[in-house]
Amino acid sequence: MDFEFSDEQKAFAEEVKRFCDEHDDPDVFDVTRENMAQIVDTPKRRAFMKSLGHQGWLGITWPKEYGGSEGEGVYEYILNEELAGRGGPQIGKGVGIIGKTLIAHGSEELKREFLPMILENDVEFAVGYSEPNAGSDAAAMRLKAVRHTDDDGVEGWLLNGQKTWTTSAHFAEWYWLGTRTDPDNKHMGITLMLVPLDQPGITINGIWTMGDERTNEVWLDDVFVPDRYVVGEVNHGFRYISQALDLERFTMFTFSPIRQRLDVLTDYVRETTRDGAPLRDDPVVRARMARLHTEAEVARVMGLKFVAEAVKVERAARAGKEFQPPTVVASEYKLFATELSQRLASAAMDIGGPGSQLRVKTDDAPMKGRSESTYRYTVIDTIGGGASEIQKNIIARRGLGLPKNF
């Protein structure tokens, strides 16, 4: 495959850079939030994403009939990488997981209601898959949905149960929710629904992570969902979730932040003297840096491989042909990139010495405390979107054809 961008793609990257320069704001771009910088959780960040929508960049890969431009996924990749490298909010849940699933499986009524709002960034979603006993194994979710008719005669579902690790629940308007509609069928008993988060019966409690960011547990007590907000076919939700998770695993863990953190560490090694000798001349440090730079290039190329495979899938889908989502490639990239992030964070802590334990944005700390925040955040990265162990199982079974270990 060709690892170089075309002239048109390079021109688009420059256009995005100029746009970000024109909208530069520390309340919008903050690299020290690490991968959590991608979420659109403040009015300024929402306004910035709305301006991206006005550029036509939120629906790059969507069909024209739904307001998109039918561009190839490489442009979405370039856009997200440019935003991520600055610590800015990125396209993700709305455009990708929710929008693309609605386009593929949603009713015309749901498409009319939600797709225009997504392109204008007039709505934020929370994704509710994880539960106390269903983390990386999404098929184990148990939030109960039973048939119910409300007082006005509207038919739908009554939801009861708990979700956890729902990052955006405290500021989102809608919940993209996996529910258990058939208790006797693990994989073919899950249904996706859209639920407004401000309705009675929903309780949201904050959980603060070791990365100083908020996620949430969400309780649903007799929450009614009309049939019109069921996404696709009843009991087919796990298939939709699995397809969308390939996208989530890739877009959640962009390469640019890894590159940016590696540059910070490289500059520190290049400029720092310890015990009267330049740190860059220490053979142990040099060997460790060489390995990190090599692995970073591997991660970059693995990301491009996923993009190339995703483009093939897009072309097949538009041609009405059968296709398989790039599940294995997505898992390979997610596993390698997030584990590399941890190795990079550990190296920064070791090379920076005792002072690297000082909090981020401490001016006199090595690298201004960046390694400390990175070290905490990267633990979360190896869990979100499917833990490393899950990615290894996917690669083993679907990529290598190994038997499932019962």
CA distances from 330 to 32, 36, 92, 221, 235 (A): 25, 20, 15, 36, 25
Cβ(113)–Cβ(148) below 8 Å: no
Is the pLDDT at 69 greater than 80? The verdict is: yes
Q: Which amino acid is at 25?
A: D
Please tell me the distance from the alpha carbon of residue 256 to that of residue 17, in angstroms, as a whole number. Answer: 13
Domains and their CATH numbers in the chain: 7-92 (1.10.540.10), 126-235 (2.40.110.10), 252-399 (1.20.140.10)
Is the pLDDT at 247 greater than 70? The verdict is no
Q: What is the pLDDT of residue 138?
A: 79
The yes-or-no verdict on residue 369 having pLDDT over 90 is: yes
Stretch 321-327: mean pLDDT = 76
Burial class (CB in 10 A: 0-12, 13-18, 19+), 197: buried
Confidence of residue 230 (pLDDT cuts 50, 70, 90): very high
228 and 107 Cβ atoms separated by less than 8 Å: yes
Nearest CA among 280, 259, 221, 272 for reference residue 344? 259
pLDDT for the residue 366: 95
Residue 214: predicted pLDDT: 93
pLDDT at 246 exceeding the cut of 90: no
What average pLDDT does the segment 153-166 reach?
Answer: 96
Q: Is the pLDDT of residue 251 over 80?
A: no
How far apart, in whole angstroms, are the C-alpha atoms of residue 122 and residue 99? 13
* SS3 assignment, position 203: strand
Q: What DSSP string describes 223-246?
A: EEEEGGGEESSTTBHHHHHHHHHH
Q: Mean per-residue pLDDT for 347-365? A: 94
Give me the pLDDT at residue 309, please: 85
Residues 147, 10: Cα–Cα separation, whole Å: 52
Which pLDDT score is estimated for 311?
Answer: 79
With cut-offs at 50, 70 and 90, classify the pLDDT of residue 54: very high
Least confident of 98-112, 357-371, 382-396: 382-396
Coil, strand or helix at 321: coil
The confidence band for 248, taking pLDDT boundaries of 50, 70 and 90, is low
Position 43, amino acid: P
At residue 75 the predicted structure's pLDDT band, cuts being 50, 70 and 90, is very high
- Write down the pLDDT at residue 243: 78
Cβ atoms 250, 96 nearer than 8 A: no
Return the pLDDT at 316.
Answer: 74
Cβ atoms of 118 and 99 closer than 8 Å: yes
The per-residue pLDDT of the chain, averaged, comes to: 91
Q: Which spans in 23-91 are helix H?
A: 43-54, 73-85
Place of tokens 């591997």: 298
> What is the Cα–Cα distance from 253 to 385, expressed in whole angstroms?
9
Tell me the CA end-to-end span of the chain in Å, nearest whole number. Answer: 38
Q: How many helices (H) and strands (E) does the chain have?
A: 11, 10
Q: How confident is the model at residue 169 (pLDDT cuts 50, 70, 90)?
A: very high
Q: Residue 1's pLDDT is what?
A: 60
Average pLDDT (226-240) is 96
Percent of the chain with pLDDT over 70: 97
Give the pLDDT score at 381: 86
Confidence band, pLDDT 50/70/90 cuts, at residue 46: very high
CA–CA gap between residue 386 and residue 153 (Å, rounded): 40
Residue 274 and residue 211 in contact, taking contact as beta carbons nearer than 8 Å: no
Single pTM value for the model: 0.89
Residues 113-152 pLDDT 10s? 999 999 999 999 999 999 998 876 778 899 999 999 999 9
Classify residue 8 as exposed, middle or buried by CB count within 10 Å of its CB (0-12, 13-18, 19+). exposed
20 pLDDT exceeds 90? Answer: yes
Q: In angstroms, how far is CA 237 from the centroid of its own chain?
A: 19
- State how far the Cα of 176 lies from the Cα of 99, in Å rounded to an integer: 11
Where is average pLDDT lowest: 22-26, 85-89, 224-228, 389-393? 389-393
173-196 pLDDT, tens digit per residue, is 999 999 999 999 998 999 999 999
